[in-house]
Each structure stands twice: as structure tokens, then as C-alpha cells.
Amino acid sequence: MHDSPELDRLRDWDAGAAPLDDDTRHRVRARLLAAMRDAAPAPAVRPRRTVLRVALTGAVAAAVAATTLVAVRDGDGGTTAAPPGSSSSPAMRTVSARTVLDGAAAYQRAHERTVAPRDDQFVYTKEIVKETDRKTGATKTYVDENWHSVDDSRRSWVMELGKGWWSDPPGKNESHWPTQDWTRLKQLPTDPDKLLKAMRAPSDRTPDYSRPIAEGEWPLIQMSLAGLLYRIPVMPAGLRAAAYEALGKVPGVKATPGVTDARGREGIGITYTGGIGLDSTFVFDPETYAFLGFRSTRTSGDGADRKTYTQLTYLDSWAIVDKARQRP
């Protein structure tokens, strides 16, 4: 089994603590891989984005046509006010992760548009990535355009930091998560408590909702939920809101005020501190809880050549189109 990009990022993650020795890293990695193998069918090995950042916003206003949706700018605003705090700056107020994510879910339900793409269509996304070298301060901006097959049966075109390639669909008896398959997405529960249990084995189409969640299952649940929210820009009605609420119930998810997004706006960051999981940060507007984008870390090289970058990403637009590489 090949290492997944999530595990590659886990290996390079720096939480500000002393690094794990090689034996400890091996044991932790082996336990996570074993849990993932036991929980779901082996995922298909396919080129995936090093930083999970396709699904960046909640519902954005879009004009729905019979075959093609016109791309629109992300228009996430919100209606849920942040609770009062000790600071006059909303971005610096103390607020719980649960409050932020519940507010994001409420906005999502109030503003989402129903979309029903055909199986033979593609989800187009245009993402803006600002990457800064932490040592030199040099910043580069990339525009990544992606075309994902709606039913995941056709080759998709994906981009990473300005470079693109064709990504083949999973083979027979293979699966991967998060799925792009619209039919599979519609089968996921929109009740947040059921969705949490389904994320223990996200590729399982018959999850056991009667069994309580065990303590050791939370990291995999968080990784599955975060992957869904990062990579899937268009979801059936109610699913994204349920995913926000479910993420707010995961132990170890916390809110951090004063996190800056790609456009220089101060927001509230939602991160996971419960151990192994997906370590990128969701950034929300501190007053409305509108989703602003992602903040994450990328590393390259080894030893003296090792470089660390801060990445800020947001979704510029999305649409449903009829062909791969077709722009709206």
C-alpha cells in the first residue's frame, strides 16, 4: 500500500513539540494504516493533491442550467452573529469551535442552492493559492483549475501549484475517499451524528449506526470529515451543513482567533489538536461564520535544503460543465 498524501503531510507536520523518534513514528503510522485498512476497502492509488483543498466554500450562488452551470464568484456571507467577547475586534473574540461550525452550518442551510449534475458531467473549480516561504518571505500565487468526473468513471484533470495531470478513475473493486461520485455522496447521511459514525469507514455503504464511537476512532473520523470538506466543492443538499456540525462534535477540534486568510482578512481558524488527523486550518469570518478559505503548510527537500511554506487557499469559482478542460 502506498503512502497517502495525508500521511506524507503528517510525517512533515510540526506541532511545536519535540519531534518523534523513528520508532515512535513507525508505530503510530502503522496503527493508523491498520485502522484504515480494517475500516474500509483499500483505496485506489491515484494522483492526489498534496494539500487537500478542493472543497473550499459552502454553497456559492450559481445559475443552474440543464447542462452547464455558469461559474460564479464565491459569495459566502453569513447571517449568524458571533457571540460577544472581551475584544472589540470580532476576529479576536473567544468562541468555541462548536459555535463557529454550527454557525457555518446554519448559513449553509439558509443559502445553499440545489444542484443535480448528470453522471457524464464534470465539476470545474478554480482555486487561488498563495504560498510563502517561511524563511525568505517570498510569496508566489498559483491558479489551479480542476475538472472532476461527477460519477468518478472518467479521467479527471487536476492541478497542484500550477501543474496539471490526468487522474484515472478507480479500477474494479477499488475505492477512494473522499469520493467524487454524486450517487455515493447522496447516500451519506445528513444527520450529523449518523455522519460521524459513517466516517469511521467512509467507503462502507452499510455503516453500523448502532455501535458507539470508540475513543481511538476519532482521528480517522476527523480525517474523513475534513477530507470531504476539503475536496468536494459541490454536495447534495444538507450534506455540507451536516459535515460542519459533525466536525464540531469531534474531540480535539478547537477555534483560534486572529487567523489571516489569503485576502488578508482576519478570521477564526478551526484546527484539529487530537493527534493524528488532517492538520490544515479552516478559516471562517468572525462575525458571520462565512467560510473564507484554508491555511496549511507544505514542506520540500531534506536536511539543509528543506523548505517550509505557508499556503493560503480559496475557491474563486466553480461550475458544472459537460467536458473535461471545458471552461464555463
**How many other C-beta atoms can be found within 10 angstroms of the C-beta atom of residue 211?**
10
Residue found under cell 492538520 = 279
Residue 275 CA: distances (Å) to CA of 105, 222, 255: 25, 10, 16
Amino acid at 282: F
Residue 184 CA: distances (Å) to CA of 10, 115, 176, 235, 303: 28, 15, 12, 10, 43
Report pLDDT for 13. 41
C-alpha cell at 121: 458531467
Taking the model in full, what pTM does it have?
0.71
Is the CA virtual torsion 59, 222, 197, 47 positive or negative?
positive
The contacts of residue 221 (CB under 8 Å, 6+ apart) are 196, 199, 200, 213, 250
Report pLDDT for 23. 43
Report pLDDT for 171. 85
Domain ranges of the chain: 5-321
Mean pLDDT by 10 residues, the chain (328 residues): 44 42 43 44 38 34 30 33 48 85 95 89 95 96 96 94 94 83 93 97 92 95 92 89 97 95 94 78 94 92 93 93 96
Residue found under cell 464540531 = 248
Report pLDDT for 234. 84
- How far is Cα 62 from Cα 75, in angstroms, rounded to an integer? 10
C-alpha cell at 39: 475500516
- How far is Cα 262 from Cα 317, in angstroms, rounded to an integer? 15
Q: Which helix (H) or strand (E) holds 232?
A: none
Cα Rg, the chain, nearest whole Å: 19
Residue 238 CA: distances (Å) to CA of 16, 166, 180, 213, 259: 37, 31, 16, 23, 27
**DSSP secondary-structure letter at 202?**
T
Report pLDDT for 11. 41
